[in-house]
Structure 1
Amino acid sequence: MTEADIPTRLSQLRRWAADQHGLDAHALELRLAAGDASFRRYYRLRLPDGATRMLMDAPPEQEDSRPFVAIAGRWRAGGLPVPALHAVDLEAGFLELDDLGDTPLQRCFHGDDHPATLAWHDRAIDLLHALQNRASPDALPPYDAALLGRELDLFPDWCLGEWLGIAAPPGWEALREALIASALAQPVVTVHRDFDAMNLMVRDDALYLIDFQDAVAGPLSYDLISLIRGRYCRFTAPRFAAWVEAFRQRAVAEGRLSSGTDLATFLTQAQAMAAQRALKVLGIFCRLTLRDDREGYLARLPHFLGHLEESLAALPEHRDVHDWLRDHFHPALEAKLAAQGIAGGSLA
């Protein structure tokens, strides 16, 4: 869908929503609420009685909404906090959902070390435990070696090749295979796949899950890493380790992780998972910029580079790549950001 298509899609969405409620399309109160990194757009519908709903416009030629609908039904039946679906037209690509408001979790953060920020992360981790306990991964596509590999390849393909014009480091293939093996060694659970603060909505002091259409059956630590190595905070190594250990203990107690998995093993797996995700995000953000003409993503690269450096520092067998980041990637990225005049581009 191009920008030129948006007015036509909006007109169609307006008529569809009016039909659902027996209202005059011209009198319908409909306002753009949000867009995201995909082709989906969200509009807030205000009904005559003052109630509001969220309308999702997901062009079917670019967005398959069937996984979202199926997962929403299963997770809601399992008692998980997801928006209810009030109307669905998969052929048109229109959905009417609960309106969860305008407060994604990151708006509740007040600095990395603020007690409120830490408390909200604790609550989000509690929700993650509920997700893994209540949502079976059986009906989800596998987060297998092929998918993990495709995600990792986004880094050399898009970040290094297409954007920076440099080659992958000499130790890349060894790192790639090690990160895949580490992920596959973990227990398989339901993985939201983007369990970041922006996909956790706060309404009436409760957390709700959104944007779960890409959920897979995959590694136990993946969603935890998405949260505590996300895009909004940088936590200290002791804080990171404490969350990983608390998560490990609860996963063992609830039967999702073998009691034979000690802290050192699980912490290493978590660091490897964090490296995998950081590499994927660095590639995705460059692809969103270069292929999809999205703005604002390049300025976020230094944040995830920091995550990547922290993870690789904890994996001494990959010190060659860690050193390459410092000696080659770091200066190349900083120079490229500075040359493009991108705010926030300093890596100092």
Structure 2
Amino acid sequence: MENGSLSEFLARGGAEEIKKGGGTRRFFRAPFRGVPAVFCFYDDEKEENRYYAGIARFLKRIGVPAPEILRDAPAENLIVMEDLGAADLRSLARGNSSERSRAYRSALEGAARLHRFAPEDLGAGTPIMRDGFSRAYYKWERDYFLENALDDGLKIPLSAREREALEAELSAVADFLLALPPQLVHRDFQSENILWKDGAARFIDFQGMRVGTGWYDAASLIFDPYVEISETERRALFAFYCGETGVPADAAAEKNLRLAAAQRLMQALGAYFFLSEKKGKPHFRAHAFPALENLVVVSAGTLPRLHALAEKMLARERALRKPSEFSTFNRKKKS
């Protein structure tokens, strides 16, 4: 991606590139009309990149924390937005535990605000966004996982009968999630997409917002492979999210969380292997191990076929990789 606008921008100098994420967009820190700003240059690889500015304005209108859009220039494939700083929830992982707790609760509070907004109330102010979660989309996520993580990445063979049984189990997960009340969801609600500024969580990378279940977002954060979160912390965050959304923190809600987490982790694993093995971004492979650990946890007792497969994949990944190639955080489990 080297359009005229980006070339001219780079020629001016004085910009700091923000190297983050797995997509083709490029981000730079530089002043805009005298204020700190982030310049986002994108190509036409994903149509949803053009939705970012409209969704940002919508989120701010309904009280969900998003950056101010300073300039939206689709003809130049450019968005200029408020600079919310470099501190994200992932960067707080080894910091003050009290601050981290506040940050995670602030993030879930903002997510709950989005999830409480009824999709039927969108009306005339509806931003352009992706089609909602569907059986076809959930199937795409699990096929993405099976192709990139299982078949091409770890090369674990499954018989036709095993695949058929697994597909039946996973399609039932999709049906279960689709039966939950429809809500607006961020869709990529993980620690790198939540910034921490002035004592409040702020959201970015929401161009994939669509109608689905809020549990997908909650699971994305609570079982985020980028950050080590203890079982005690997870239970506290689960209870907090339930309180924010007015749902009893009972076995039914925990089932919602764990099935949504299984779905989300399959998508994430597909992405990690795709980006590392097919897009030349090997650092993403480090997150496969904690993602598989989390998939083993969330599938235990509810999804026997996926659980057995996740254990097999975890063992294969452990055998293939050096311990130093796993995640960047301490793998020692905390209670």
TM-score range, shorter chain: 0.7 to 0.9
**Shift, 1:274, TM fit:** 0.8
**Shift, 1:43, TM fit:** 0.8
1:35-74 matched pairs, under 5 angstroms = 35-46=20-31, 49=34, 51-62=35-46, 64-74=48-58
**Shift, 1:14, TM fit:** 5.7
**Shift, 1:37, TM fit:** 0.9
Does residue 115 in structure 1 map to residue 113 in structure 2? no
Contact 1:124 1:207 in 2 (8 A): yes
Contact 1:156 1:167 in 2 (8 A): no
Q: 2:6 aligns with which of 13, 32, 47?
A: 13
**Shift, 1:98, TM fit:** 0.9
- Supply the distance in 2 between the matched residues of 1:142 and 1:320 (Cα, whole angstroms): 27
Q: 1:271 aligns with which of 233, 258, 264?
A: 258
Which structure exhibits the higher relative contact order, with contacts defined as CA atoms closer than 8 Å and separated by 6 or more residues?
2
Residues 1:204 and 1:156: Cα distance change in structure 2 (over 3 Å): same
2:282 aligned counterpart, secondary structure: coil
**Shift, 1:182, TM fit:** 1.9
**Shift, 1:87, TM fit:** 1.6
**Shift, 1:196, TM fit:** 1.1
**Shift, 1:235, TM fit:** 3.3
**Structure 2 partner of 1:164:** 154
1:321 aligned counterpart, secondary structure: helix
Residues 278-326 of structure 1, C-alpha deviations (whole Å, 9 max, x = no match): 11111111111222221201111110011101101141xx324323433
Letter in 1 for 2:251: A
Letter in 2 for 1:132: H
Contact 1:186 1:220 in 2 (8 A): no
What stretches of structure 2 of length at least 5 have no aligned partner? none
Mean Cα displacement is larger for which, 126-135 or 287-296? 126-135
1:102 aligned counterpart, secondary structure: coil
Larger C-alpha radius of gyration, 1 or 2?
A: 1
What stretches of structure 1 of length at least 5 have no aligned partner? 2-7, 18-24
- Supply the distance in 2 between the matched residues of 1:204 and 1:118 (Cα, whole angstroms): 15
Residues 241-291 of structure 1, C-alpha deviations (whole Å, 9 max, x = no match): 343344334323xxxx6xxx7711121121111111111111111111222
**Structure 2 partner of 1:96:** 80
Contact 2:154 2:316 in 1 (8 A): yes
Contact 2:63 2:113 in 1 (8 A): no
Letter in 1 for 2:281: R
Number of residue-to-residue matches in the alignment:
319
Contact 1:274 1:311 in 2 (8 A): yes
Residues 170-215 of structure 1, C-alpha deviations (whole Å, 9 max, x = no match): 2411221121122112111110011111111122222211000001
**Structure 1 partner of 2:70:** 86
Letter in 2 for 1:114: S
What percent identity do the matched residue pairs reach?
21
1:42 aligned counterpart, secondary structure: strand
Letter in 1 for 2:38: M
**Structure 1 partner of 2:271:** 284
Q: 1:129 aligns with which of 112, 115, 137?
A: 112
Letter in 1 for 2:183: V
- The TM-score normalised by the length of structure 1 is 0.82
1:307-346 matched pairs, under 5 angstroms = 307-315=294-302, 318-326=303-311, 328-338=312-322, 343-344=325-326
- The TM-score normalised by the length of structure 2 is 0.85
